[in-house]
Protein backbone atom coordinates (compact mmCIF):
# COMPACT_ATOMS: atom_id res chain seq x y z
CA UNK A 1 0.00 0.00 0.00
CA UNK A 2 1.43 3.37 -1.00
CA UNK A 3 2.33 5.95 1.61
CA UNK A 4 0.32 8.97 2.67
CA UNK A 5 1.59 11.94 0.64
CA UNK A 6 2.54 14.91 2.82
CA UNK A 7 1.98 17.81 0.44
CA UNK A 8 3.91 20.92 1.34
CA UNK A 9 1.98 22.74 -1.36
CA UNK A 10 -1.38 22.00 0.27
CA UNK A 11 -0.15 22.70 3.80
CA UNK A 12 1.39 25.96 2.63
CA UNK A 13 -1.93 27.15 1.22
CA UNK A 14 -3.58 26.58 4.60
CA UNK A 15 -0.81 28.28 6.57
CA UNK A 16 -0.62 31.26 4.22
CA UNK A 17 -4.35 31.84 4.65
CA UNK A 18 -3.80 31.87 8.43
CA UNK A 19 -0.91 34.30 8.04
CA UNK A 20 -3.04 36.56 5.87
CA UNK A 21 -5.67 36.73 8.59
CA UNK A 22 -3.01 37.47 11.22
CA UNK A 23 -1.44 40.18 9.05
CA UNK A 24 -4.85 41.81 8.55
CA UNK A 25 -5.45 41.71 12.30
CA UNK A 26 -2.10 43.37 13.03
CA UNK A 27 -2.88 46.10 10.52
CA UNK A 28 -6.42 46.71 11.77
CA UNK A 29 -5.79 46.53 15.51
CA UNK A 30 -2.21 47.78 15.84
CA UNK A 31 -1.54 49.76 12.68
CA UNK A 32 1.32 47.44 11.73
CA UNK A 33 1.55 45.85 8.30
CA UNK A 34 4.20 43.10 8.27
CA UNK A 35 6.96 44.19 5.91
CA UNK A 36 9.51 42.00 4.14
CA UNK A 37 12.53 43.50 2.39
CA UNK A 38 14.55 41.36 -0.01
CA UNK A 39 18.00 42.37 -1.21
CA UNK A 40 19.33 41.00 -4.49
CA UNK A 41 22.92 41.57 -5.58
CA UNK A 42 23.48 41.15 -9.30
CA UNK A 43 21.38 39.40 -11.91
CA UNK A 44 21.75 35.70 -11.16
CA UNK A 45 18.69 34.14 -12.87
CA UNK A 46 18.05 31.59 -10.12
CA UNK A 47 18.30 34.26 -7.41
CA UNK A 48 15.98 36.52 -9.36
CA UNK A 49 13.45 33.71 -9.59
CA UNK A 50 13.65 32.87 -5.86
CA UNK A 51 13.32 36.51 -4.81
CA UNK A 52 10.38 36.96 -7.15
CA UNK A 53 8.62 33.94 -5.65
CA UNK A 54 9.16 35.24 -2.12
CA UNK A 55 7.87 38.71 -2.94
CA UNK A 56 4.82 37.33 -4.73
CA UNK A 57 4.01 35.03 -1.80
CA UNK A 58 4.40 37.91 0.67
CA UNK A 59 2.04 40.17 -1.23
CA UNK A 60 -0.53 37.38 -1.65
CA UNK A 61 -0.54 36.89 2.14
CA UNK A 62 -1.17 40.57 2.82
CA UNK A 63 2.39 41.54 3.70
CA UNK A 64 4.15 44.55 2.25
CA UNK A 65 7.08 43.59 0.05
CA UNK A 66 10.07 45.65 -0.98
CA UNK A 67 12.84 44.47 -3.30
CA UNK A 68 16.18 46.23 -3.43
CA UNK A 69 18.38 45.21 -6.36
CA UNK A 70 21.97 46.44 -6.54
CA UNK A 71 24.66 45.76 -9.16
CA UNK A 72 26.96 42.77 -8.84
CA UNK A 73 29.89 45.21 -8.49
CA UNK A 74 28.40 46.69 -5.31
CA UNK A 75 31.07 46.77 -2.61
CA UNK A 76 30.71 45.06 0.74
CA UNK A 77 30.61 48.44 2.47
CA UNK A 78 27.83 49.63 0.18
CA UNK A 79 25.82 46.48 0.86
CA UNK A 80 26.34 46.92 4.60
CA UNK A 81 24.91 50.39 4.19
CA UNK A 82 21.79 48.98 2.54
CA UNK A 83 21.35 46.53 5.42
CA UNK A 84 21.86 49.28 8.01
CA UNK A 85 19.13 51.35 6.37
CA UNK A 86 16.69 48.44 6.50
CA UNK A 87 17.60 47.73 10.13
CA UNK A 88 16.60 51.30 10.97
CA UNK A 89 13.34 51.28 8.99
CA UNK A 90 10.35 50.61 11.30
CA UNK A 91 8.22 49.55 8.32
CA UNK A 92 10.57 46.62 7.66
CA UNK A 93 10.13 43.62 9.95
CA UNK A 94 12.02 41.02 7.96
CA UNK A 95 15.24 41.32 5.96
CA UNK A 96 16.41 38.68 3.52
CA UNK A 97 19.67 39.06 1.62
CA UNK A 98 19.48 36.50 -1.19
CA UNK A 99 22.41 34.09 -1.24
CA UNK A 100 24.82 33.34 -2.79
CA UNK A 101 26.57 36.70 -2.92
CA UNK A 102 29.35 37.66 -5.34
CA UNK A 103 32.79 36.37 -4.36
CA UNK A 104 34.11 39.76 -3.23
CA UNK A 105 31.47 39.99 -0.49
CA UNK A 106 31.76 37.94 2.71
CA UNK A 107 28.38 36.32 3.35
CA UNK A 108 29.00 35.89 7.07
CA UNK A 109 29.71 39.59 7.52
CA UNK A 110 26.46 40.54 5.77
CA UNK A 111 24.37 38.03 7.72
CA UNK A 112 25.81 39.26 11.02
CA UNK A 113 24.99 42.85 10.05
CA UNK A 114 21.26 42.08 9.89
CA UNK A 115 19.46 42.86 13.15
CA UNK A 116 18.65 39.52 14.83
CA UNK A 117 15.10 40.81 15.38
CA UNK A 118 14.68 41.16 11.59
CA UNK A 119 16.67 38.07 10.57
CA UNK A 120 13.68 36.13 9.27
CA UNK A 121 16.00 33.68 7.48
CA UNK A 122 17.18 32.56 10.94
CA UNK A 123 20.87 32.62 9.96
CA UNK A 124 22.28 35.22 12.38
CA UNK A 125 24.57 33.70 15.06
CA UNK A 126 22.32 35.16 17.78
CA UNK A 127 19.30 33.29 16.42
CA UNK A 128 21.35 30.14 15.87
CA UNK A 129 22.69 30.34 19.41
CA UNK A 130 19.29 30.89 20.97
CA UNK A 131 17.90 27.93 19.05
CA UNK A 132 20.80 25.74 20.18
CA UNK A 133 20.48 26.77 23.84
CA UNK A 134 16.70 27.04 23.92
CA UNK A 135 16.85 30.51 25.45
CA UNK A 136 15.11 33.72 24.45
CA UNK A 137 13.13 34.57 21.34
CA UNK A 138 14.63 33.51 18.04
CA UNK A 139 13.86 32.82 14.41
CA UNK A 140 14.51 29.30 13.18
CA UNK A 141 15.86 28.78 9.66
CA UNK A 142 12.92 28.42 7.31
CA UNK A 143 13.56 24.97 5.86
CA UNK A 144 13.98 23.17 9.23
CA UNK A 145 10.99 25.07 10.62
CA UNK A 146 9.00 23.98 7.58
CA UNK A 147 9.91 20.34 8.15
CA UNK A 148 8.68 20.45 11.75
CA UNK A 149 5.47 22.20 10.69
CA UNK A 150 4.87 19.53 8.03
CA UNK A 151 5.26 16.76 10.58
CA UNK A 152 2.95 18.38 13.11
CA UNK A 153 0.22 19.34 10.66
CA UNK A 154 0.20 15.93 8.97
CA UNK A 155 -0.30 14.13 12.28
CA UNK A 156 3.26 12.91 12.82
CA UNK A 157 4.31 14.61 16.05
CA UNK A 158 8.00 13.75 16.62
CA UNK A 159 7.65 13.73 20.42
CA UNK A 160 9.07 10.52 21.86
CA UNK A 161 10.06 9.15 18.45
CA UNK A 162 13.45 8.37 16.98
CA UNK A 163 14.15 10.86 14.24
CA UNK A 164 17.13 10.37 11.96
CA UNK A 165 18.35 13.49 10.17
CA UNK A 166 20.51 12.61 7.17
CA UNK A 167 22.54 15.77 6.60
CA UNK A 168 24.58 18.02 8.88
CA UNK A 169 24.58 21.42 7.19
CA UNK A 170 24.25 24.69 9.10
CA UNK A 171 21.20 25.51 6.97
CA UNK A 172 19.19 22.33 7.53
CA UNK A 173 20.64 19.36 9.40
CA UNK A 174 22.03 20.99 12.53
CA UNK A 175 19.22 23.49 13.20
CA UNK A 176 16.62 20.81 12.48
CA UNK A 177 18.21 18.52 15.08
CA UNK A 178 18.07 21.37 17.60
CA UNK A 179 14.40 22.07 16.83
CA UNK A 180 13.52 18.41 17.25
CA UNK A 181 15.35 18.20 20.58
CA UNK A 182 13.66 21.24 22.16
CA UNK A 183 11.29 20.90 25.11
CA UNK A 184 8.50 22.43 23.05
CA UNK A 185 5.76 21.44 20.58
CA UNK A 186 7.39 19.83 17.58
CA UNK A 187 10.33 18.71 19.73
CA UNK A 188 11.04 16.15 22.47
CA UNK A 189 12.33 13.66 19.92
CA UNK A 190 15.32 11.35 20.16
CA UNK A 191 17.57 12.54 17.36
CA UNK A 192 20.40 10.92 15.41
CA UNK A 193 22.32 12.98 12.87
CA UNK A 194 24.13 11.14 10.07
CA UNK A 195 25.62 12.17 6.74
CA UNK A 196 27.24 10.98 3.52
CA UNK A 197 30.38 9.84 5.36
CA UNK A 198 28.54 7.87 8.03
CA UNK A 199 29.77 4.28 8.13
CA UNK A 200 26.97 1.95 6.99
CA UNK A 201 24.53 4.79 6.46
CA UNK A 202 21.68 2.41 5.62
CA UNK A 203 21.96 0.72 9.01
CA UNK A 204 21.40 4.10 10.66
CA UNK A 205 18.56 5.31 8.43
CA UNK A 206 16.69 2.03 8.92
CA UNK A 207 16.38 2.76 12.65
CA UNK A 208 14.29 5.89 12.03
CA UNK A 209 10.63 6.19 12.86
CA UNK A 210 10.89 9.54 11.11
CA UNK A 211 13.61 10.01 8.48
CA UNK A 212 14.44 13.51 7.22
CA UNK A 213 16.81 13.53 4.27
CA UNK A 214 18.89 16.61 3.45
CA UNK A 215 22.03 14.90 2.25
CA UNK A 216 22.38 16.72 -1.08
CA UNK A 217 22.61 13.74 -3.43
CA UNK A 218 19.91 12.89 -5.97
CA UNK A 219 17.83 9.81 -5.07
CA UNK A 220 20.46 8.52 -2.67
CA UNK A 221 17.95 7.04 -0.22
CA UNK A 222 16.44 3.84 -1.59
CA UNK A 223 13.73 1.54 -0.26
CA UNK A 224 16.17 -0.82 1.45
CA UNK A 225 17.45 2.10 3.55
CA UNK A 226 14.03 2.85 5.06
CA UNK A 227 12.32 1.13 7.96
CA UNK A 228 8.88 -0.21 6.90
CA UNK A 229 6.22 2.20 8.11
CA UNK A 230 8.60 5.13 8.62
CA UNK A 231 7.66 8.73 7.87
CA UNK A 232 10.05 10.20 5.26
CA UNK A 233 10.59 13.91 4.62
CA UNK A 234 12.69 14.70 1.53
CA UNK A 235 14.40 18.10 1.72
CA UNK A 236 16.48 17.71 -1.45
CA UNK A 237 15.77 19.28 -4.83
CA UNK A 238 17.87 18.44 -7.89
CA UNK A 239 17.62 18.84 -11.63
CA UNK A 240 18.94 15.71 -13.33
CA UNK A 241 19.33 14.89 -17.00
CA UNK A 242 16.47 12.90 -18.49
CA UNK A 243 16.71 12.48 -22.29
CA UNK A 244 13.28 10.85 -22.31
CA UNK A 245 11.48 13.95 -21.01
CA UNK A 246 10.32 16.88 -23.10
CA UNK A 247 12.60 19.32 -21.28
CA UNK A 248 15.57 16.97 -21.24
CA UNK A 249 15.65 16.92 -17.44
CA UNK A 250 13.50 16.13 -14.43
CA UNK A 251 13.37 17.38 -10.85
CA UNK A 252 13.85 14.94 -8.00
CA UNK A 253 14.83 14.84 -4.34
CA UNK A 254 17.34 13.00 -2.19
CA UNK A 255 14.92 10.07 -1.93
CA UNK A 256 14.05 7.58 -4.68
CA UNK A 257 10.38 8.48 -4.32
CA UNK A 258 8.67 5.75 -6.37
CA UNK A 259 10.50 3.01 -4.44
CA UNK A 260 10.34 4.49 -0.96
CA UNK A 261 6.64 5.39 -1.07
CA UNK A 262 5.91 1.64 -1.15
CA UNK A 263 7.78 1.13 2.12
CA UNK A 264 7.04 4.29 4.09
CA UNK A 265 3.75 5.08 5.84
CA UNK A 266 4.01 8.75 4.82
CA UNK A 267 6.34 10.67 2.52
CA UNK A 268 6.80 14.19 1.18
CA UNK A 269 7.41 14.57 -2.56
CA UNK A 270 10.05 16.67 -4.25
CA UNK A 271 9.08 18.99 -5.82
CA UNK A 272 5.92 20.01 -3.95
CA UNK A 273 7.06 19.11 -0.47
CA UNK A 274 9.50 21.07 1.66
CA UNK A 275 10.12 23.77 -0.98
CA UNK A 276 6.78 25.59 -0.62
CA UNK A 277 7.04 25.29 3.16
CA UNK A 278 10.38 27.09 3.19
CA UNK A 279 8.85 30.23 1.69
CA UNK A 280 5.81 29.89 3.95
CA UNK A 281 7.96 29.87 7.08
CA UNK A 282 9.77 32.98 5.83
CA UNK A 283 6.39 34.70 5.77
CA UNK A 284 5.54 33.26 9.20
CA UNK A 285 8.76 34.64 10.68
CA UNK A 286 8.03 38.06 9.16
CA UNK A 287 4.53 38.14 10.66
CA UNK A 288 5.96 37.08 14.02
CA UNK A 289 8.55 39.86 13.81
CA UNK A 290 5.80 42.40 13.09
CA UNK A 291 3.77 41.12 16.04
CA UNK A 292 6.79 41.51 18.32
CA UNK A 293 7.31 45.05 17.04
CA UNK A 294 3.68 45.76 17.93
CA UNK A 295 4.20 44.31 21.40
CA UNK A 296 1.87 41.36 20.89
CA UNK A 297 4.31 38.64 19.80
Q: Which residues carry out catalysis?
A: 54, 98, 121
Q: According to the model, what pLDDT value does residue 1 have? A: 57
Please answer whether residues 214 and 170 qualify as being in contact, where contact means their C-beta atoms are separated by less than 8 angstroms: no
Parts of the chain with a pLDDT under 70 = 1
Per-residue pLDDT tens over the stretch 21-35: 999 999 999 999 999
Q: Tell me how far apart the alpha carbons of residues 227 and 48 are, in angstroms, rounded to a whole number.
A: 40
Q: What's the CA angle centered on 207, arms 206 and 211, to 5 degrees?
A: 75
- Distances from the Cα of 43 to the Cαs of 67, 75, 169, in angstroms? 13, 15, 26
| Top-level class of domain 31-115 | alpha beta
Say whether 142-275 and 31-115 share the same fold.
yes
Architecture per CATH, domain 142-275, reads as: 3-Layer(aba) Sandwich (3.40)
DSSP assignment, residue 280? H
**Cα–Cα distance, 209 to 200 (Å, whole number):** 18
Task: Give the integer Cα–Cα distance in Å for 239 and 135.
Answer: 39
Kindly give, in sequence order, each residue whose CB lies less than 8 Å from that of residue 61, ignoring residues fewer than 6 positions away.
16, 19, 20, 23, 283
d(CA 33, CA 24): 8
Please give the pLDDT value at position 163: 98
The structural domains of the chain, with segments of one domain joined by +, span: 31-115, 142-275
pLDDT at residue number 297: 80
Q: Are 289 and 26 in contact (CB under 8 A)?
A: no
The pLDDT of residue 224 is 98
Strands (DSSP E) contained in the chain are 4-5, 35-41, 64-70, 94-97, 162-166, 190-194, 210-213, 231-234, 238-241, 249-252, 266-267
Amino acid sequence: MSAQIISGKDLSATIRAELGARAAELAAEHGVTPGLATVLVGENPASQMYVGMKNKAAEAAGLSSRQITVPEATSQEELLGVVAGLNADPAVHGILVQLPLPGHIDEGTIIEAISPSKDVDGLHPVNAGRLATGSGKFFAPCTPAGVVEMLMRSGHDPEGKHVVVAGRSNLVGQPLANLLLRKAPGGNATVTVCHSRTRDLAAVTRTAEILVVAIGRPEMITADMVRPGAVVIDVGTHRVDDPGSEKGYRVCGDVLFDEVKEVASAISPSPGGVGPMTITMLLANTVTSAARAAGVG
